[in-house]
Structures are given as structure tokens and as C-alpha cells.
Structure 1
Amino acid sequence: MMPKDFRDFLSILEAQNELVRFSEEISPEPDIGAMGRATCDMEMNGGGPALLCENVAGYKIPLAFCLHASNRRVALSLGMDKKTPLLDLFREFTRRWDKYPVQPVAVDNAPCQEVVKKGSQIDLTEFPIVRWNTGDGGPYVCKNAIITKDPETGQQNAGLYRMQLKDKARICVPFIPAHDIGRHYQKAQAMGLKEIEIAVALGNDPTLNIAACSPIPPEWDEFGFAGALRGAPLSMTRGATVDLMVPATSEIIIEGKITIGKTHIEGPFGEFPGYYSDLRRTPELEVTSVTHRRNPIFEGLYIGLPLTECDWLSQLANSVSVLRQAKQLAPELESFNLASSWVLVGIASMRKRYAGQDKKVMNAILATPHASYGMKLLIMVDHDVDPFNLDQVMWALATRFNPATGVTFINEATMNPLDPIAPGKAYGTKMVLNAT
């Protein structure tokens, strides 16, 4: 059954014994972060549940987290059986990728605007925004869809970016120029604009969260992609104080503006590779309104040493994105796994027919935007090896990989700026291991 919205997803998880509710009072720090860490560790060792804390000390609003922190719950978020094997999930995700777009529909009287707060009514501290790891520089919002639009074309974008809470009406939004929001910011700056508008959607339809962290082609929009994933259009409504369309069924919408050139210190933050980021100056969102459902539920996301929720949330989208783009140049590429459990590692299976063909596939993969940015090590295997079965991959490396001839280095390549071997530089050396 395809979830209708965030609340329906919670109901489905509970019915499938994938959600644990806590009614007793729970301390926001360090208990919430420790619970996120524990359930992710449990998942790596046989199974950990999603969590709903109904009584977070100091808050009246419940906190749900780790909702996508397993392949089972990713399958349920896509309306599939939770026992669906990962390779079959990949194939179905690929099929839905090819259904793009299913464009959203506009509605009035949206649930996300049942309560509207402006001016002195705005208070972000009423939401259970917590410090997820003890070394974090403050409380963070981590699971969201941050909506901006291109100042030239008007096309909207939704991305998932962490946000550090500063006070009741200010929150830092770190991003880099390569992100769509970064391009919108730079365009606005070049056009002489003084600010850009932003809406932050929280407690979203589960397919929108997947879409928001998907490296889709730049001409696509995440709302049409979420519609393709769910097989039906999302409902959108006009923002209360910004000229943006926002998801109508989300639990909470934070609206505001970023002043071009105005920054604030942000960080450190426990990042997905398992290391803390440094302090840096990032743009700051000044909130103009907060709208939400009656009795809203806040959704958080624990990030830290892999595996955590972001790894399961993004694996299918990252993998299918690279496959679809690389196959245009190398149709012999069979499957690709940007492995959630091996951070910054990609595994490609191919049908090799002649000597040197692996180099063609390698170059096609490395030319894709996400692999060139988010992958440091590429492992090449034959078509009879399932790249989502890491035992099979290790067997191929043990029996088919020749260290004398099977290693390729690519120097001075683009790297993920969060890679701890290249902090702040975003370039370094990539390696390819050929086990074909």
C-alpha cells in the first residue's frame, strides 16, 4: 500500500511492526541521539525499528526519526513488500525513475496551513530540534525538503540539507555552489538581487524525502519525481509568506528569506562519513512564517558513523542516477550500487565482450555528476556478480582481481568535500579496482 502522506506512513510502519512508540518522558540530549545510534546499529545486526517519541522533555510536539533507516522501510515507503530484496528494489526504482514526470496538483485549504504563525508568534524552539551527536555545534534539522526557485526560470527545486537552529526565528542553511540551492543563490547574486525566498517542508510524504536527496537531472524537478515514485501527483499549495509552492500534506512548513551575503557561524556537525565537519560561515534563513497541521509531528534524522538513515534513504536514488546516466554512453553496464554500507564506494557490474571495454564503462561512470562528486573507489565486476550482494563482490575481488593489472588511479579528481582525506579541498585521487 502506497502511503498517502507522512501520518499514513507512520500508520503503515506501525501495522508492519516497524515502529516503536515511547510514551514515557525522554531527555532530548543525549537520549534522542543515542536512540538513533542504537536503532541504526540494531539494523546492521538484524533489525532496528523506526522511533516515535511522544513525550520529549521540554516539548509538546512528538518526534519521529529513523523512518527510512532500513531497506524494509524504504520498500514500505514505496508501497512495496518490506521483504523485497535490494536488487528488486533497485529494479523497481529504476522503472519508476523512467515514469518521470508525474507533476503535482495545486490545492487550497491545505493541511500544512491549518495553523499559521507570523511575527512574534514564530518560535522554532517549540519543535524538538535536538543535538544528534555530542560534538555537534547546536541543534540541527536534518530531514527536510528545502524549496527554492531559479530566479531566472522560476523552476522550483527541493533538496535535503542540514540546518542549525540559532534562535526562535533564525536558522543556518549550509550549502555549496554545486547544489541547486547554491546555483540559485549565485544567480540571484549575479542578478543584483538582495535575497532569495525559501520554504522548508518537514514531516513529508516519504517519497518527497527520497526525491529531495536524489541526484536527478538538473532539468527535472523533485515534485514531479516524487509523483513518479508514488505513482500519483503530490498536492501543493501556495506558501503563506513566500512566492513558492509547498507540499500540502506536510506536517510543518518554515518560510523565510536568505539575505545575499549575510552569513553566520555554523558547525561542527557529525557528518555521514562518520567524522565531524569544521566550523564555517553559512547563509542564514530569517523566518517569516511557520505553518503546520493541528497537533503536528516533527520528523528528525540521525546522522553519524555509517550506517545511519541517510545511507538507506539515498542509496537507491544515488545508484539509479549513475546507472541511467552512464548507460547512455556504456549500454553494457548492467547494474550499479553506490553502496550505502561502504561510504564513497561504487560497485558496477557489466557484460564484458572485449578487452578494454571495462575502461569505457569506468569512464562513463566517472563522467556522471554524482559519481564524479560522491565516489572515491569504484569496483568493477562481471554481470554474474550482484553488486548489491557484498559477499559476492568480495568473492569477485578475491578470485578475479589482479593487483598487477587491475588498479587505475585518477589523480586531481573532484571529491566530496566531506571526505576526511580532502577536507575543504574537494579534490584528490580516485581508485578503480577491476575484477572483471
Structure 2
Amino acid sequence: MDALAECGDVICVDRLVDPCLEMGAIIRRSYETRSPAPLFTRLTGVAAGHRVLGAPAALSSDPRRPLARVALSLGLPAEVTGRQIVEHIAEARRRPTVPPVEVATGPCKENIRVGPRASLEGFPAPLLHLGDGGRYINTWGTIVACTPDGTFTNWSIARIMMIDEKRLTGLVAPGQHLHKVWRQWAELGRPMPYALVQGGDPALPFVAGMPLPDGVEEAGFLGALTGKPVEVVRCETVDLMVPANAEIVIEGYLSTSPDADEGPMGEFTGYIPQHGSKQPSYTVEAVTHRHDPIWPHVVEGQPVDEFHTASGISLAAEILSHLRAAGLPVSTVWAPFESATHWTAITVSGTWREQLPGLTSGELVERIKDALATCRAYVLLTRTFVLDDDIDPSNISELIWALATRWHPTEGHHVRTGPIVPLLACYSPAEQASASGPKGVYDCLLPEPGQGRLVRSSFQHGYPADLQQEVVRTWTP
């Protein structure tokens, strides 16, 4: 918060605001006007001192530092580029994980409510979109769950809707690690212990939303990413550990079967589904929190919001790490925010032909397609474009120009059918129902030198380097 204030990228909303739609409308408006992050200090029906931070990792209001909120969340300078952020996360994937360390207590234990006193009354539970199926208390928090045998602990993000002050429900989607852990408990006929964490390390949502491989625990990777172990404390009523510096922790159990109506909710695709679904229900057994806690909230919708920044960047970093581990000469990966992360752009080294002699561009794209199919992020991919690394795919103007001029209308299309996330808006109802659909990987690589290769006509590429430097030094528009 202090770093955002220094950047002029947070604004206090001190007037009384209604959590029923008004707060969500202000946050949505802040995305679409690239305004500072709104910090709500007075909300109707919410206990005094409880605050809400909207748009915590959206695009910055400073056009010179568009990814400042993302960068600061990850402990990086506000000025870094998208490519540098992706590289930072991907590099951390190559390091050993750093397990969390238990401490005796922490700020999240400043207030403790257990049993009958454990209620969400007085906490912000906003109706975020017109058409949502209910009030959503979790849009940026982390769900902690552990397998019954204690061998794997998952930290993940999934939306959670309030039924009443003691009961919640939320998406437990097949294919996600949360669902796999829940199924193990359900097969034993026992409700799953959970903890829902709001706040904590600002990098936590980026890691909790990252499609890490099976067996990799988010807590350990967060330690590798930040360079220090996460300090955790033991919950009050369940055998789980949570970040000691969290703002709010809700504890309880998740039912063994889908017994509650959940949704719909405005989604990252930019649309509100027509129907909800049956999902398991969470009971609230304990609530612990800081004095005057800050509850972060995201209002998903048409790009750009946190799903597109945080999830898109984490997705790109995981794919980059995976492709490099497969021995492919990949320079960077980017999921364009403006595509609602339905697109992915992969750039390969300008020397890929020397690194892989005798390989055609089509064969390289086939190798990339095969490697992507073994990545856990594969379910999120719809269209993947493979380009030369003279393109910066995080520059949307440059990316669109490259696709328009290098993507052939009919050739170089490599398509296979695979698992999909049903929420992806480009698929038909039948494909969404079956959770399976086509995925395209497109060869947008330039021809070999001497075979009609295009030469870029731009300031960076069309003039001698010394002349570029002189023009930059002497000419100010």
C-alpha cells in the first residue's frame, strides 16, 4: 500500500459506498479508465475499520509504468516490462523450492473468533456484477487445502460466494488441484478442512493462480520466488498452516458433495454466464484477522483486470519454463491481456535454425505443439502464435501488426483436440459441456534469409545504431 501511494496509484474512497453493486461498479470503472486502485474505507453494513482494496494488480494509472501494481506485488521495480516479469517468474521455477517455516503467531491472529462467534457478519460481502448469483467474498484470496494423508498441500484461487454468515459455496473445478484434494476427502466420506486467506504476501495470488505441475506446492514456490520462506501459523480449528501476515483467515470444512447453488458470476471472458452450477458448501468454524483489515477484491470482466494481468503473466511464465525444459529455443511467452488470455504468443530465438539444424518452421511448431500438450497450462490454451523474437509480444500494437503480416490465412495451422476450461468463451456449448475442443498453434515465423525474408521498416530496424542514438539524444517531440 505504501509503495502504491508513493506511485500515486491508490486513492482513498472515504464516502459511504454500498457493497451491493456500487463498489463493484467503481472498481470496474477504475479498470476501464486506468484509474488508481480504490481503497474503500466506509461500506454500508460493514464494521468500522474494515476496508476493501479494489483492483490490487490491475494496470497502473501511470502510462509510463503500466505494470507497476504487478511488479510491486512481485517485489520488482515499478518500471519493469512484461517480458522481464515473465522471465523473473520463469527463472524462479528453475530454483529449488523454499518450504515455509512455522512461527508462533502473526498479525492474522490479532482477533480470533471461534465456534458460534465465528461469523462473516460485518465483513464485506459485495454483489459485484448485475446478474451475479450472489455476493462473492472471495475473488483474490487463497484457499489452503491438504490431502488426507498430509503429503500435498495446495494453495489456489477459486471464486467463493456467500450463502449466509456461516456458509459459503464456490467453484471446485475438475482438473484443478483443489478438486483433486477435495475428491480424496469426499471418497473417504469426510468433509475437507480448508482455510481461506485474504491478503498476505502480495505475490501470493500470482502463485496461487499459476498452473504449477502436479506435486509442486505453491508455498514452496512462493518462497523460491521471493527468496525467503513464507512464515506460517497454525489454524485454530483445522490442521492447516496459513501465512502469518494475512489480513483475514476463514477456517472450516468443505462438504463431501455438491449441495449448494453457486453462480453465475461475471467472468474473465468479459461475459456473465446464464446459469450457475451445483458445488460443495463451506462451513465457517473460525475467523481470525488483523486490526482494521484490508480485504482485496477483483471484479472480473472485459479486459483488463487481475485475471488477465496476474493469471496471464503466471500462465506465460509456466509455459516458458516448460518449453525451455523441453529444450526448445524459446525467447519469451506472453498471454495478451486484451485477448482475455484466450491467446498466447511464443517467440523463438533468431538463431533457432542454427540451434536445430535441418528443422523446418512447421516442424518446430509441431514440437512446440507437442510440448504444450504435456504442460498443465494446456487446458487454458486456445490459439498459440509462434513468432520470431524481433517481436515483443507484450506490445499489443507490435503483436497485432506481426500477426496481420505474418499469419497466413490458410497455411501453417497446426490443430489438435484437447482438454479445455469450459469457461473459455470461444467454444461451443457442446465443447464446453464435454470440456474438450480444438486448439490451434500457428506458424507465424519469417522465411529463411534469402527466401523472401521480410526486412522491418521502423526506427529501430531501419537506421544505423549510431544514428538512432543521435536522434534519441537530440530530438525531443
SS of residue matched to 1:116: strand
Partner of 1:164: 161
Aligned to 1:268: 264
- 1:363 paired with 2:360, answer no
Partner-residue secondary structure (3-state), 1:273: coil
- 1:81-230 alignment, distance < 5 Å: 81-140=77-136, 141-190=138-187, 192-230=188-226
Q: Does 1:385 align with 2:391?
A: yes
Deviates more, 1:159-168 or 1:146-155: 146-155
Q: Distance in 1 between matches of 2:396 and 2:235?
A: 45
Q: 1:100–1:387: structure 2 CA closer, same or farther, 3 Å change rule?
A: farther
Q: Radius of gyration: which is bigger?
A: 2
Amino acid at match of 2:53: A
Please list the CA deviations of residues 242-295 of structure 1 after superposition, one character each: whole Å capped at 9, or x if unmatched.
000111110110000112125101111111111223221000001111111122
Distance 1:33 1:385 in 2: 36
* Residue of structure 2 in register with 1:347 after alignment: 345
Match of 1:193, SS state, is coil
Contact 1:101–1:227 under 8 Å retained in 2 = yes
SS at structure 2 position matched to 1:252 = strand
Question: In structure 2, how many angstroms separate the alpha carbons of the residues matched to 1:379 and 1:224?
Answer: 32
Match of 2:279 among 279, 282, 296: 282
Query: Residue 28 of structure 1 aligns to which amino acid in structure 2?
Result: P
The answer for the alignment partner of 1:419 in structure 2 is: 424
Do structure 1's residue 297 and structure 2's residue 294 form an aligned pair?
yes
Distance of 1:369 and 1:263 partners within structure 2: 29
- Give secondary structure in 1 for the equivalent of 2:85: helix
Aligned counterparts of 2:133 and 2:186: Cα–Cα separation in 1 = 28
Q: How far apart in 2 are the matches of 1:270 and 1:384?
A: 37
Give the whole-Å Cα distance in 2 for the aligned partners of 1:261 and 1:217: 26
- SS of 2:433 mapped into structure 1: coil
Distance of 1:229 and 1:39 partners within structure 2: 29
Shift of 1:297: 1.8
Instruction: Give the residue type in structure 2 aligned to 1:432.
Output: V
Whole-angstrom distance in 2 between the partners of 1:293 and 1:125 = 16
C-alpha contact (below 8 Å) 2:83/2:332 kept by paired residues:
no
Amino acid at match of 2:375: T
1:14 aligns to what SS in structure 2? helix
Hey, what does 1:374 align to over in structure 2? 380
Q: Secondary structure at the match of 1:101?
A: coil
Structure 1 vs Structure 2 CA RMSD: 1.6
The aligned residue for residue 63 of structure 1 is 52
Aligned AA for 1:345?
W
Q: 1:413 is matched by which residue type in structure 2?
A: G
Equivalent-residue separation in structure 2 for 1:23 and 1:401 (angstroms) = 50
Tell me the residue number matched to 1:4.
none
The CA distance in 2 between the partners of 1:332 and 1:262, in whole Å, is 45
Deviation for aligned residue 1:159: 0.3
SS in 1 for 2:12: strand
Aligned to 1:31: 22
SS in 2 for 1:89: helix
Indicate the larger mover: 319-328 or 194-203. 319-328
CA contact (8 A) 1:379 1:432 kept: yes
Instruction: State the match for 1:248 in structure 2.
Output: 244
8 Å CA contact retained: 1:144, 1:204: no
Identify which range, 373-382 or 113-122, moves more after superposition: 113-122
Spell out, residue by residue over 1:63-82, the C-alpha distance to the aligned partner (whole angstroms, 9 max, x if none).
11211112211111122221
Quote how far apart the aligned CAs of 1:143 are. 1.1
| Deviating more after overlay: 360-369 vs 109-118 | 360-369
Query: What does residue 325 of structure 1 align with?
Result: 322
Q: Secondary structure at the match of 1:108?
A: coil
Counterpart amino acid of residue 53 in structure 1: F
Rounded to whole Å, the distance in 1 between the matches of 2:415 and 2:86 is 29
Query: Which of 23, 36, 48 in structure 2 is aligned with 1:49?
Result: 36
Q: Distance in 1 between matches of 2:112 and 2:99?
A: 26
Q: How far apart in 1 are the matches of 2:182 and 2:167?
A: 18
Q: TM-score, structure 1 length as denominator?
A: 0.92
Find the counterpart in structure 1 of residue 448 from structure 2: none
1:3-22 superposed matches below 5 A:
10-22=1-13
Once the 2 structures are TM-superposed, how far is the Cα of residue 367 of structure 1 from its aligned partner?
3.0
Q: How many pairs align?
A: 420
**Is 1:307 aligned to residue 304 of structure 2?**
yes
Contact 1:251 1:293 in 2 (8 A): yes
CA distance in 2, matches of 1:75, 1:238: 30
Could you state the TM-score of these two structures normalised by the residue count of structure 2?
0.85
The answer to which of 397-406 and 227-236 deviates more is 397-406
Unaligned runs of 5+ in 2: 60-66, 354-358, 446-477
Residues 98-153 of structure 1, C-alpha deviation per residue, up to 9 Å, x if partnerless? 33412211111221111111222122131111011111011102111100001234
